[in-house]
Structure 1
Amino acid sequence: MSRKVIEAVEQLAEPILDEEGLELYDTEYTREGNNWYLRVYIDRPEGKVDLDDCSRVSERLGAELDRVDPVSGQYFLEVSSPGAERPLKKPGHFKQALGKRIFLTTYEPIDGRKKFEGTLTRYTPESLTIDLEGDPVEIPVDKVAKARLVLVF
């Protein structure tokens, strides 16, 4: 059910985001305690998302969700930026992160470890390469549990 909700929400969100000059970064529909949360993460191809962007999209998307009603039951709608240390989930996320510092964990050890932080130097749908201070490590994409950008000062 969760996948169907996400797909329906994304179909409603895309035209709104196109009109606003924004793009859909990610969507989550998750239960936390007794409450359900529908989280829509938006991004701007050139620049940053601000509070006004989030408010406008939330208002417009909320109206569409009320009209179409693709989600049964009550939930909280949250619209926000994915943030500076944004999660990397989709192929496009990894492609945008090429040349940047990332942190990832794997489901099972690779070269004796499950945590990696370094520069993402290569990405294909099958594997990615992280440069760990001059030591490149190739990691199969299906072994990645979680990945995110690392904020570098």
Structure 2
Amino acid sequence: MKVADSQGISELCRPVIESFDCELWGIDFKLSSRTRLLRVYIDKSEKSIEIEDCEQISKQISSVLDVEDVIQGEYVLEVSSPGIDRPLFSSEHFKKYVGSRVFCKLRIPKYGRRKFNGILSVAGDSDIEIKMDDASYSLSYIEIENANLIYDY
């Protein structure tokens, strides 16, 4: 089986992660000329993620991915919690953090810029609104390359 996309990898990882009473927060798969990096973010609703959770889940996911042969060649697997500056992967993630400070980087410029750092004021099924510098900017999920929370210290 050859799975080239994050969705296919997610489908293989999710049952393993759930067997440890954790949830799959998101997958980040980076390809470069020298390395392949697969980051798997896990979370728990009631407790914090411990290093032991990451270690055990990493071993199980590694076995599943190797058996299914989903990534050609060598790759580095990282399993971690999303952390306080957690990446936002889905509309549900954005909806959960309305009112929080976020950073979004777009695939191509919009409103004369690619980077937005402001308060997430609206999160719908297809787009979000970020308030910054006394202005509001509407961005569709399709336009967003990556996004994460910004923790205000």
Match of 2:120?
A: 120
Q: CA RMSD in A?
A: 2.2
Q: Residue deviations 1:67-112, cap 9 Å, x none?
A: 33222222122111222212223212211221211122343242x5
SS in 1 for 2:88: coil
Query: Which piece of structure 1 moves more, 20-29 or 141-150?
Result: 141-150
Task: Report the CA distance shift for 1:72/1:88 in structure 2 as closer, same or farther (over 3 A).
Answer: same
Distance in 1, Cα, partners of 2:12 & 2:146? 27
In the TM superposition, residue 13 of structure 1 has moved relative to its aligned partner by: 1.4
Q: Residue deviations 1:124-149, cap 9 Å, x none?
A: 1333222337x351313144343211
TM-score, length-scaled by structure 2: 0.81
Match of 1:137?
A: 136
SS in 2 for 1:147: strand
Letter in 2 for 1:150: I
Distance in 1, Cα, partners of 2:105 & 2:64? 37
TM-score, length-scaled by structure 1: 0.81
**Structure 1: which 5+ runs fail to align?**
none
Q: Percent same amino acid at aligned positions?
A: 30
Residues paired across the two proteins, number? 149
Residue 130 (structure 2) pairs with residue 108 (structure 1): no
Q: Residue deviations 1:34-71, cap 9 Å, x none?
A: 22222211111233222111001001112222333222
4+ runs of 1 displaced by more than 3 Å?
Answer: 112-115, 142-146
Task: Report the CA distance shift for 1:26/1:72 in structure 2 as closer, same or farther (over 3 A).
Answer: same
Match of 1:15?
A: 15
Distance in 2, Cα, partners of 1:47 & 1:131? 31
Q: Is the CA contact (8 Å cut-off) linking 1:22 and 1:42 kept in structure 2? A: yes
Distance in 1, Cα, partners of 2:46 & 2:135? 30
Q: Is the CA contact (8 Å cut-off) linking 1:24 and 1:42 kept in structure 2? A: yes
In the TM superposition, residue 23 of structure 1 has moved relative to its aligned partner by: 1.0
In the TM superposition, residue 33 of structure 1 has moved relative to its aligned partner by: 4.0
Match of 2:80?
A: 80
Match of 1:2?
A: 4
SS in 1 for 2:12: helix
